[in-house]
Structure 1
Amino acid sequence: MTTRIPVAVYAEDPVLRTGTTHQLRPRPEVEVLGADEAHRAVVSLVVVDAVDEPTTRLLRRLRRSSATRTGVVVSRFDHDSLQITVDCGVSAVVRRAEADQDRLVTTILALAKGEAVLPGDLVGRLLDHVGRLQRSVLDPDAPTLATLTPREADMLRLVAEGFDTSEIATKTSFSERTVKNVLHEVNTRLNLRNRAHAVGYAMRHGLI
């Protein structure tokens, strides 16, 4: 390869950034950019433990302000993270446990070619997500992922798994009163009869 791919590395702490940069610098396919050169990046790698609010702000900024193609290297990745990364135009997701040197370089090469990279178990979830987006376009009044907050969805998942109020409170670190209030708010807002109705509604519409 005659042209090295300019890559900007973003990480939530210096140790992560140094570790990722150390893996990439020896490879002839890649040019690791300094912070003052990030505007030249063809590919941006965002290395984090989870897709939290600061990461979401960074992903949105990258989408708005540059033509770079973005990949996320992440430890924990859940349903909400998938929605955020899709909405932010992320083209690749790699789990940190699998992010050795060859995997990172392969991902960078794929991104530079305009390809997408996802772990196999996320492909089905992505297709489901896209299907829900398509249905929401066809029926704007249909329930969407935004119908429930992450906390409401988490509590409904626990209800679906058979946990009672006290067990849900323990697992979520909220008081029993808060759990009851959150679930009551869901029922009231969506005109549902009870918890079982709420779980059935959420599952039927792909919200949990």
Structure 2
Amino acid sequence: MAVHARDPISRAGVVSQLRARPEVTLEDWAEGANEAPEILLLVADTVDDEVLRLLRYIQRSTTARTVLVVTEIDEQRLANAAECGVAGILRRSAATPEHLVDVIGAVAQGAGHLPPDLIGTLLGEVARLQSKVLGPRGLHFSGLSEREVNVMRLVAEGHDTSEIADRLAYSERTIKNVLHSVMTRLQLRNRSHAVAYVLRQGLI
């Protein structure tokens, strides 16, 4: 893992806490480097435009998972950080060596981390987006519309196009268009690939 901070004092403080921990191996990293470590720990006062720019760069250019240590964060900044692929967030006031190592370990294993009070905030934001933005457009967080979910569920059950059309009271052409749209949007090769994908991703 590597530690990145705007000011050298913040970076030195975090590095000194982690250097003695056998659970982590510290590496150097700078924006523009050819390779990035498994975990990037970013230290900042808040999630401002510069932090968001760096998070987007990391998301776009590396396979690293990002942990963000911040002094303050609110609902909007949490949403912005989540959009940029942050896997873990903790406040500086809670960033003891033990807690840092726990969060880094969880993120390295594919889990995420948020302070408990932010979990409710994030769930509220998800509900708001579903009801105010996605729902009125017939969309869900799965990336599939309700009609697409129904069609893919019947395909997974082994029904052919005409049977699906009969069950859902659509034309066969509509069913074919729905399947084509799903496979094109998700870059899937055929129906079998589509079924395997949506089942594996928990979309149906």
Equivalence for 1:156: none
Identify unmatched segments of 5+ residues in structure 1. 1-6, 142-208
Q: Which residue identity is paired with 2:136?
A: D
- What CA distance in whole angstroms lies between the structure 2 residues aligned with 1:93 and 1:39? 23
SS at match of 1:9: strand
Matches within 5 A, 1:85-96: 85-96=81-92
Which amino acid letter does the alignment assign opposite residue 107 of structure 2? Answer: L
- Given that 1:73 and 1:96 are in contact with CA atoms closer than 8 Å, whether structure 2 keeps it comes out as yes
Following superposition of structure 1 onto structure 2, how do residues 50-199 of structure 1 map, counting pairs within 5 Å? 50-135=46-131, 136-140=133-137
How much has 1:40 moved relative to structure 2?
A: 3.6
Aligned pairs for 1:25-64 within 5 A: 25-35=19-29, 39-64=35-60
Give the alignment partner of residue 11 of structure 2, picking from 3, 17, 20: 17
Query: Post-superposition shift, 1:38?
Result: 7.7
Structure 2, unmatched stretches of 5+, are 139-204
Q: TM-score, normalised by structure 2?
A: 0.62
Change (3 A) 1:87 1:12: same
Task: Show CA shifts across 1:61-85 (max 9, x none).
Answer: 1111111111110001111211111
Query: Does the 8 Å CA contact 1:8/1:38 hold for their aligned counterparts?
Result: no
Render the CA deviation track for 1:81-112: whole Å, top value 9, x for unaligned: 11111111111110001101111110100000
Aligned-partner Cα distance in 2 for 1:14–1:74: 15
SS in structure 2 opposite 1:91? strand
| Equivalent-residue separation in structure 2 for 1:33 and 1:117 (angstroms) | 22
> What letter is aligned with 2:74?
D
Q: CA deviation at 1:8?
A: 1.6
Whole-Å Cα distance in 2 between the matches of residues 109 and 68 of structure 1? Answer: 13
Amino acid of the residue matched to residue 32 of structure 1?
Answer: L
Residue type at the aligned position of 2:52: T
Output the TM-score relative to the length of structure 1: 0.61
Moved more, 75-84 or 33-42: 33-42
For the aligned residues, what is the CA RMSD? 1.7
Tell me the SS of whatever aligns to 1:137. helix
Query: Quick check: 1:8 aligned with 2:2?
Result: yes
**1:19 and 1:38, CA in 2 relative to 1: closer, same or farther beyond 3 A?**
farther
Aligned equivalents of 1:44 and 1:139: distance in 2?
Answer: 37
- Give structure 1 regions of 4+ aligned residues with deviation exceeding 4 angstroms: none
Letter in structure 1 aligned against 2:123: L
CA distance in 1, matches of 2:113, 2:10: 21
In our comparison, the structure showing a higher alpha carbon Rg is 2
How many residues align structurally? 135
